[in-house]
């Protein structure tokens, strides 16, 4: 077996839809075509937004589509637990390490104060406006005074002099300017660990060699690379697949119709039809036809995946049903 390892890590805050299935299928094919190990991890770190029943539904939907995994919350494995809400001690340990090497500082800015700069140009589009560094240079006395009135978040100090460059497996060479969007939160004021930190700790702990995910997370990559470096952890190879978009230019969502896997199943759309449709969109087949996920493994070619957003026209969407 190859030592290549990849994963799919859904967030159980809503029903799995074709956009999720798109990323899951391509991540699975990348690993299975290289005879590697595929991991399923549940990213439920944001407790208020996540629901256990949706986590169970996600596992059922993936299995119904014909995808499997070697390690995961339901099958276990050597890197358990595979559910983020059960991995909090690992994140706290990483925070302690970052604090010890002076990579973090407390931020007392309120949500209203941060929203006030929301109209500023965004350094990283999906990550919101760049943080202005308001709390970065507070003295210890100023920090103490502010702690009496407000529990702070913790922010990572981004080197404002270094550009970040990495080679994306689909998008090619990616370069982010110095400062990469400003200092970012690694623990919220309510104590919830940020996605950025949790995903780095988990991918390193689970020995991920490759991370294939949606292009909406590309802007997170430079921040995660900085965390890998600061913690002395090896970074995986990254590849970002384009998003599926509606004809209105917005990401495929409920407003474009019910594209949930559960909804499609209820409408009588079979798993091989969904897989064949996604494979055609990904350039893996030259025409749309129902096909099992396992049949795609032998001729998966990452180089054929488009690197621009894919517009799902009404005609394309109808292919799923007829």
195 is in an annotated binding site: yes
Cα(135)–Cα(147) distance, rounded to whole angstroms? 12
Cα(290)–Cα(277) distance, rounded to whole angstroms? 7
Q: Quick check: 114 and 73 in contact, CB under 8 A?
A: no
Find the catalytic residue in 150, 157, 254, 318: 254
157 is in an annotated binding site: no
Active site residue 254: yes
8 is in an annotated binding site: yes
Residues 6+ positions from 280 with CB-CB distance below 8 Å: 287, 288, 289
For CA atoms 6, 11, 25, 256, give the dihedral sign.
negative
187 is in an annotated binding site: no
11 is in an annotated binding site: yes
> Residue 31's closest CA among 72, 2, 62, 11?
2
Q: 């890590």: which residue's tokens?
A: 9
Cα(42)–Cα(316) distance, rounded to whole angstroms? 30
Cis omega (within 30 of 0) for bond into 42: no
Helix 52-64 × helix 18-32 angle, to 10°? 60
> Residue 103's closest CA among 180, 164, 156, 161?
156
254 is in an annotated binding site: yes
Cα(246)–Cα(256) distance, rounded to whole angstroms? 7
Cα(254)–Cα(264) distance, rounded to whole angstroms? 13
43 is in an annotated binding site: yes
> Residue 293's closest CA among 32, 72, 119?
32
135 is in an annotated binding site: yes
Residue numbers annotated as active site: 254
Binding residue positions: 7-11, 43, 107, 109, 131, 135, 195, 213, 254
| Binding site feature residues for Zn(2+) | 107, 109, 131, 135
Known binding-site positions for ATP: 254
Q: Which residues belong to the annotated binding site for L-glutamate?
A: 7-11, 43, 195, 213
């Amino acid at each position: 077996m190859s030592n290549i390892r990849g994963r799919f890590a859904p967030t159980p805050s809503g029903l799995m839809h074709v956009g999720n299935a798109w990323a899951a299928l391509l991540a699975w094919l990348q690993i299975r075509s290289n005879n590697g190990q595929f991991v399923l991890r549940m990213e439920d770190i944001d407790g208020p937004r996540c629901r256990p029943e949706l986590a169970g539904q996600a596992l059922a939907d993936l299995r119904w589509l014909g995808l499997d995994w070697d390690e995961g919350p339901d099958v276990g494995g050597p890197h358990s637990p595979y559910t983020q809400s059960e991995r909090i001690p690992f994140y706290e340990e990483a925070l302690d390490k970052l604090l010890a090497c002076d990579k973090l500082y407390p931020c007392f800015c309120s949500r209203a104060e941060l929203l006030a700069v929301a109209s500023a140009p965004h350094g990283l589009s999906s990550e919101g406006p760049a943080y202005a560094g308001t709390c970065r240079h507070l003295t210890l006395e100023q920090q103490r005074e502010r702690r009496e009135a407000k529990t702070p978040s913790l922010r990572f100090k981004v080197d404002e002099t270094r550009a970040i460059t990495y080679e994306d497996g689909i998008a090619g060479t990616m370069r982010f300017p110095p400062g990469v969007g400003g200092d970012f939160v690694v623990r919220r004021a309510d104590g919830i660990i940020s996605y950025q930190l949790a995903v780095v700790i988990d991918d390193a702990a689970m020995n991920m060699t490759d991370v294939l995910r949606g292009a909406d997370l590309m802007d997170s990559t430079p921040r995660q690379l900085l965390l890998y470096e600061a913690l002395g952890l090896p970074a995986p190879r990254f590849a970002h697949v384009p998003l599926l978009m509606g004809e209105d230019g917005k990401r495929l969502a409920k407003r474009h119709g019910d594209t949930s896997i559960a909804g499609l199943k209820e409408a009588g759309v079979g798993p091989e039809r969904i897989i064949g449709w996604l494979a055609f969109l990904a350039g893996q087949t030259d025409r749309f036809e129902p096909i099992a996920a396992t049949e795609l493994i032998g001729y998966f070619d990452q180089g054929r995946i488009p690197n621009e957003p894919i517009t799902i026209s009404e005609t394309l969407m109808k292919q799923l049903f007829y």
